[in-house]
Amino acid sequence: MSNGESSRDDKNTPMIRTEIIFMAQPVVVTCDGKCDEAWGINWHEGRGAKVKPAPEDPGTYEGGQAKPYPWPPARHNKWCVRECERSTMSPSSTTQG
């Protein structure tokens, strides 16, 4: 799978999947690409209900990287992996026997 490859999950939602190395392990980051609805975990956990759309820049950064814009991103960045409440991370198929 290449970085930023799109596919569909079992609910027929377009998904963005990117293989990365995280903590020295290959993993796959997956999201629905709805960055306009992403607030970041600091907002998501502490603020309750939100007004949509989410701000282009919610003011949170990871490793100097902000929430991707324009949407959807071509691929994930550090903000997506560490901050976005809409993304998930799972072991890469290259690590499974």
pLDDT in tens, the chain (97 residues): 444 554 444 566 778 899 999 999 999 999 988 888 888 887 755 555 556 788 888 888 998 999 988 777 667 889 999 999 999 999 998 655 4
* Count of structural domains, the chain: 1
CB-based burial label for 25 (10 Å; 0-12, 13-18, 19+)? exposed
**For the whole prediction, is pTM greater than 0.85?**
no
- Write the Ramachandran bin of 47: left for phi over 0, alpha for psi from -120 to 50, otherwise beta: alpha
**Structural domain range at position 84:** 5-95
Beta bridge pairs of residue 91? 27
